Structure 1
Amino acid sequence: MRFLFAFVALLGYASASAILAPYVYGANAGDVQAAAIDATVAARDTVRAIGEGQARAAEAVIQHNTEAVRQVAETNRNLHENAFWGSVAASQNYVAAAQSQAAAIDGAAAAVRAAHAAAPIVAAAPLAYAGVAAPYLAAPYAAYGAYGLGLRHW
């Protein structure tokens, strides 16, 4: 039985070597050198392609970061500009409100002065003459209208 196994193994080896012999032993030195050169060129091309891909990726990252920094700077500039002009407008509104109040007080004071200057001096009349003296006493207050001392809300 051992002989049978050894014989089958020997036959298998002989047939395999007959089939594979041209491929194993048939390569000459030039073919091997050409295959090595081809493998080297392919490896260099692969390395070059990987390097170029990494360079493109790095450039894309740099461009993305540059754009993000520009957008942040523009947003900050807009915020500061809006805050500045908002404060300028608020200051102008405060000044305009103060000027309006000053004009209203000046107008009220001028109305009081005009009313006192135009009204005749009336002595304190007894109550019996109140009907006669009433127009003279009420005249200074007629200039004030329905708004009290002439201060109007704007």
Structure 2
Amino acid sequence: MRFLIAFVAILGYASASVISPLVYGVNAGDAQAAAIDATVAAQDHARAVGESQARAAEAAVQFNTEAVRQVAEANRDLHENAYWGSLAANQNAVAAAQSHAAAVSGVVAARAGLAAPYGIAAPYGIAAAPYGIAAPYGIAAPYAAHGLGIHGW
């Protein structure tokens, strides 16, 4: 394509310089100078076209490089966020499991604490209340674990 543009430009300038002496009746020296000027102008035009295409190609390469960099950065951010999100979710799951284990241990300790000070065993879910009064079938036990049971003070 560059060759065609340069060829057309050279052909246009050259034909203008060849025809002009016939039309205007210019002498040979002026015709030769006009031909040289036309050739130089065509070469300058062809050089300008080549330089503009080189600048356009360089701009395209820079644009593509920047686009690739942005996509890579976006992917890195997504993967980093996914990693830290999954790490936080795992830590939350472990904390929840530890919290539930602590709650179960607290309930077991509270139930054992109701029966143990008075020497009363609490088999089969029958919990003992203060002063040796038993609440059959574990009725008072769920409330006693939370501090809502019968108090002996």
Is the pair's TM-score, using the shorter chain for normalization, greater than 0.5? yes
- State the partner residue of 1:30: 29
What is the aligned-residue RMSD (CA, Å)? Answer: 2.8
Correspondence list, 1:1-150, <5 A: 26-121=25-120, 136-138=133-135, 141=141, 143-145=144-146
Shift of 1:143: 2.9
Q: Distance in 2 between matches of 1:65 and 1:52?
A: 20
The structure that is helix-richer by fraction is 1
Q: Distance in 1 between matches of 2:103 and 2:24?
A: 116
TM-score for both structures, normalised by structure 1: 0.65
1:145/1:84 Cα in 2 relative to 1: closer, same or farther (>3 Å)? closer
- Tell me the amino acid that sits aligned with residue 137 of structure 1: A
Which gives a bigger RCO, structure 1 or 2 (Cα 8 Å, sep 6+)?
1
- Is the Cα–Cα contact under 8 Å of residues 111 and 144 in structure 1 kept in the other structure? yes
Q: Distance in 2 between matches of 1:118 and 1:91?
A: 40
Q: In the TM superposition, what whole-angstrom CA distance separates every residue of 1:3-54 from its partner, at most 9, and x where no partner exists?
A: xxxxxxxxxxxxxxxxxxx965843322121111101100000001101110
Which has the higher Rg, Structure 1 or Structure 2? Answer: 1
TM-score for both structures, normalised by structure 2: 0.66
Q: In the TM superposition, what whole-angstrom CA distance separates every residue of 1:51-100 from its partner, at most 9, and x where no partner exists?
A: 11101111111111111101100100000000000000000100000000
Q: Distance in 2 between matches of 1:41 and 1:23?
A: 22
Q: Distance in 1 between matches of 2:27 and 2:116?
A: 132
- Tell me the amino acid that sits aligned with residue 115 of structure 2: H
- Say how many residue pairs are matched: 116
- Tell me the amino acid that sits aligned with residue 74 of structure 1: E
Q: Distance in 2 between matches of 1:100 and 1:145?
A: 16
Shift of 1:104: 0.5
Shift of 1:106: 0.7
Q: Distance in 2 between matches of 1:52 and 1:37?
A: 22
- Tell me the amino acid that sits aligned with residue 136 of structure 1: I
Q: Distance in 2 between matches of 1:115 and 1:38?
A: 114
